[in-house]
């Protein structure tokens, strides 16, 4: 056998040995840490059976999310309110939701195709009696439309936001959406 072939054979053996050693080390290494972010879940029958259908409000985070008795958090679907740091707009949106949804209010939660987000919050249409609060916040001019996969009531919310914008209700009359919440979160708004 030529010297060239011996070198190739030797290189292949070294590569095989290194690969075998790496694989053996992986199998004895400590198990990987679980992902700290919950996985986004699609609604299944089993999930729907364990998903809460009602919530008693304990705390509002902002104009589109809140915490319920039991500690679980809910993000209202199809709307995006200014962030708390978008002063004074975030405070005004939260205060408006507080007027519609005071502490200890009981609401009904309706889920769409995706039940939780990457932060573990439930994604729901929130109803106080026969009033969908996402639509009400849109009609009153304190939110913009935000949609991904959950779109059951998208047309209703879009029409409500368009009416509020046209009639300059809520934050639309006060330049409150000069920087949209999603742009603010992405740091795309000037100082």
Helix (H) or strand (E) holding 124: strand 122-128
Residue 54 β-bridge partners: 108
Report the alpha-carbon distance of residue 50 to residue 72 in Å, rounded. 13
How would you classify the pairing of strands 79-80 and 54-60?
A: unpaired
Residue 67 β-bridge partners: 59, 73
Rg (CA), the chain: 25
What backbone torsions phi and psi does residue 137 show, to the nearest 5 degrees? -65, -35
Q: What are 82's two structure tokens?
A: 């200014």
Report the alpha-carbon distance of residue 55 to residue 103 in Å, rounded. 11
Q: What are 125's two structure tokens?
A: 């249409």
Q: Which of 94, 121, 135, 139 is catalytic?
A: 121
Residue 8 annotated among the catalytic residues of the structure: no
Task: With beta carbons less than 8 A apart as the criterion, state whether 81 and 62 touch.
Answer: yes
Q: Which of 26, 33, 47, 83 is catalytic?
A: 83
Task: With beta carbons less than 8 A apart as the criterion, state whether 106 and 99 touch.
Answer: no
Residue 4 annotated among the catalytic residues of the structure: no
| Length of the chain (residues) | 191
Residue 139 annotated among the catalytic residues of the structure: no
Could you list the active site residues? 75, 83, 121
């Amino acid at each position: 056998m030529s010297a060239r072939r011996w070198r190739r054979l030797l290189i292949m053996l070294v590569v095989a040995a290194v690969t075998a050693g790496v694989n053996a080390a992986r199998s004895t290494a400590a198990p990987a840490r679980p992902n700290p972010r919950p996985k986004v879940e699609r609604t299944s029958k089993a999930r729907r059976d364990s998903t809460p259908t009602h919530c008693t409000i304990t705390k509002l985070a902002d104009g589109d999310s809140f915490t319920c008795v039991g500690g679980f958090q809910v993000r209202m679907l199809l709307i995006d309110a200014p962030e708390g740091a978008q002063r004074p707009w975030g405070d005004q949106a939260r205060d408006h939701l507080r007027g519609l949804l005071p502490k200890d209010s009981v609401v009904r939660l309706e889920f769409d195709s995706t039940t939780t987000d990457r932060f573990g919050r439930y994604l729901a249409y929130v109803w106080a009696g026969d009033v969908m609060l996402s639509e009400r916040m849109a009609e009153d001019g304190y939110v913009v439309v935000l949609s991904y996969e959950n779109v059951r009531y998208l047309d209703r919310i879009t029409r409500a936001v368009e009416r509020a914008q046209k009639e300059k209700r809520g934050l639309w009359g006060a330049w409150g959406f000069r920087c949209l919440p999603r742009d603010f979160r992405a740091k795309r708004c000037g100082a």
